[in-house]
Amino acid sequence: MNKAQIRINRAFTVSAIDPRLFGSFVEHMGRVVYTGIYEKDHPTADADGFRQDVLQLTREMGVTAVRYPGGNFVSGYSWTDGIGPREQRPKRRSLAWKSIETNEIGIDEFMVWARKAGVEPVLAVNLGTKGIEEAVNFLEYCNGEPGTLYSDLRAQNATPQPYGVRTWCLGNEMDGDWQIGHKTAGEYGRLAHETGKAMKIIDPSVQLVVCGSSLSTNATVGEWDRTVMRHCFGEADFISLHQYYGGQEKGTAAFLAQSLDLENYIRMAAHVCDVEGFMRRDPKKVMIALDEWGVWSTPASEVEAETRRERWQYAPRIGEQIYTMEDSLLFASMLLAMIRAADRVKLACQSLLTNVSACIMTEPGGGVWVQPIYYVFALAARLGGGVVLQEAAEEDTYAVETFSQVPYVDHVSVWDEAKGELSLLLVNRGESAAEVTYSLEGPEAAGVLESTVLTADDRKATNAEDHERIRPAHIDNVKIEGSRITCELLPLSFQMVRISLR
């Protein structure tokens, strides 16, 4: 049996968890918006055409923030297409996803949906085919007090009250040659600098996210981030990272080890920002936004084939991945990596909310069901606002081609002082049971408040046919002896344990 021995002390902390770490992402791609969050003729649709079954699941998932409207889509999008009377809005070709965009849903409708879902909006501006003027006009439309052109237009279309959107992404994946309007690091850095400068003149309270690297394997990773920071350090509140992992054909051990790459990626971005701050003698800390992340189990060639097959269609079925239990364990470890880095990762957006690489799956005119990754997210999201504790661990490891020491047990500890609770999130990467022992320095454990496991008898099992096949269950596998907590994890499982402390 693999083992992990972990020591924690409430006095030694990493950081409080920013609730926005449990964000998601809605892009005009495939069926994310149309027949995803919005379907005006659906039996559950409310007066605004939003599916109430999806709204309810979004709230239960614990989503705190949602990035919109893209994604690759935003680099060819004009936000003005999606305002005003719907019958007057243009239909456009979306160059990113080779589909027809009707613009039935735009910024005003999204803000209504966000309010109903109880999420904070995170908006992206187009720095691909557009630039400074488009961005500042969008900001004025959303946040300006009445009395000027675009704020008055918002009052005319939707509401006299400013939306007060605080977080804005300056473009999307501009380092990628797949992006409409792709730029070099210097070109993007200059444009983002000037755009951010203008936006903060209009609203000094906004927080700006500049584009870092869009994959840890990109040829320009690191150098791109350094160049962008040299231009944008003064305006940037966040640098974004995007990351998806696939590669199930490598085998379970190597597949699940990929979250260690994410840990290295986060450290790289933090170091790049801190070096720039040092060179400027500026104590400011630029935070990290993992505003697209997830497991991408479908080969890119397959998605491209789907896109060609559905070319210039409305709400085409593309990228509708079905997640296995195995996928869900890597998803969980990616989330744990972000929580462990809570001192720098202050915003994250799981990609995407509905239908495309999604937690929530819908059928047009029909039902809704959730993938196993939904439960991982929902359990972890309950920890928002807690404080991540430092851990000292002695643990069994294994080796794969890319990493020489991969812990069999992935783990993070979160303390909630207001509730007097210690929460443990655990992933067993191993194919046999694992024993985890926690030694608490300080107060003793009083009792187990919750012990919930997510696992399956087949690592390739999904919820596609039997929607209830993989779901959380209570498990009685935790023992407490004073300051010692012992838990025997099931093979290939994710578990959450909540402990009350004296």
Residue ranges of domains in the chain: 2-11+388-501, 18-382
At residue 173, the pLDDT reads 98
Distance CA 27, CA 110 (A): 11
At residue 299, the pLDDT reads 73
| pLDDT greater than 80 at residue 482 | yes
pLDDT more than 70, % of the chain: 100
Mean pLDDT of all residues in the chain? 97
| pLDDT greater than 80 at residue 108 | yes
Residue 275 corresponds to which tokens in the numbers above? 């070096």
Which residue, 78, 74, 56, 31, is CA-closest to 362?
31
* Mean pLDDT to the nearest integer, 360-382: 98
Q: Identify the three-state secondary structure at position 242.
A: strand
Q: Cα dihedral sign for 217, 222, 224, 229? A: positive
The string over 481-496, giving b where at least 16 C-beta atoms fall within 10 Å of a residue's C-beta and e elsewhere, is: eeeebebebbebbbbb
At residue 307, the pLDDT reads 81
Residue found under tokens 């993938």: 371
* Confidence grade of residue 266 (pLDDT, cut at 50, 70, 90): very high
| pLDDT greater than 80 at residue 367 | yes
Return the ∠ at Cα 134 (arms to 130 and 140), rounded to 5°. Answer: 160
At residue 442, the pLDDT reads 83
Superfamily of domain 2-11+388-501: Golgi alpha-mannosidase II (2.60.40.1180)
At residue 396, the pLDDT reads 98
Would you say the CATH fold of 18-382 matches that of 2-11+388-501?
Answer: no
Set 173, 235, 276, 326: catalytic member: 173
| Statement: the pTM of the whole predicted model exceeds 0.95 | yes
Distance CA 318, CA 370 (A): 18
What tens digit of pLDDT does each residue of 140-154 get? 999 999 999 999 999
Is 292 an annotated catalytic residue? yes
What tens digit of pLDDT does each residue of 232-252 get? 999 999 999 999 999 999 999
* Confidence grade of residue 301 (pLDDT, cut at 50, 70, 90): confident
What tens digit of pLDDT does each residue of 155-204 get? 999 999 999 999 999 999 999 999 999 999 999 999 999 999 999 999 99
* Confidence grade of residue 310 (pLDDT, cut at 50, 70, 90): confident
* CATH 3.30.70.890 for domain 18-382: no
| pLDDT greater than 90 at residue 119 | yes
Backbone dihedral region for residue 54 (phi beyond 0: left; psi -120 to 50: alpha; all else: beta):
alpha
Q: How far is CA 251 from CA 18, 21, 190, 356, in A?
A: 34, 29, 43, 24
Contact assessment for residue 392 and residue 384, using Cβ atoms and an 8 Å cutoff: no
Is 450 an annotated catalytic residue? no
Contact assessment for residue 453 and residue 495, using Cβ atoms and an 8 Å cutoff: yes
At residue 302, the pLDDT reads 80
Set 235, 292, 306, 326: catalytic member: 292
Q: Contacts for 266-272 with beta carbons within 8 Å, 24 or more apart?
A: 266/241, 266/290, 266/337, 266/338, 266/341, 266/344, 266/345, 267/341, 268/221, 268/222, 268/225, 269/212, 269/213, 269/225, 269/239, 269/241, 269/344, 270/341, 270/344, 272/222, 272/225, 272/226, 272/229, 272/239
Distance CA 289, CA 169 (A): 10
What tens digit of pLDDT does each residue of 79-99 get? 999 999 999 999 999 999 999
| pLDDT greater than 80 at residue 425 | yes
Q: Identify the three-state secondary structure at position 23.
A: strand
At residue 323, the pLDDT reads 97
Report the amino acid identity of residue 59: R
* Mean pLDDT to the nearest integer, 374-398: 96
Q: Which residues have CB under 8 Å from 300's CB, separation 6+?
A: none
Distance CA 263, CA 284 (A): 22
Lowest pLDDT segment from 207-221, 298-312, 331-345 = 298-312
| pLDDT greater than 90 at residue 400 | yes
- The distance of Cα 80 from the centroid of its chain, to the nearest Å, equals 26
* Mean pLDDT to the nearest integer, 394-406: 97
Residue 123 corresponds to which tokens in the numbers above? 């908006």
At residue 385, the pLDDT reads 84
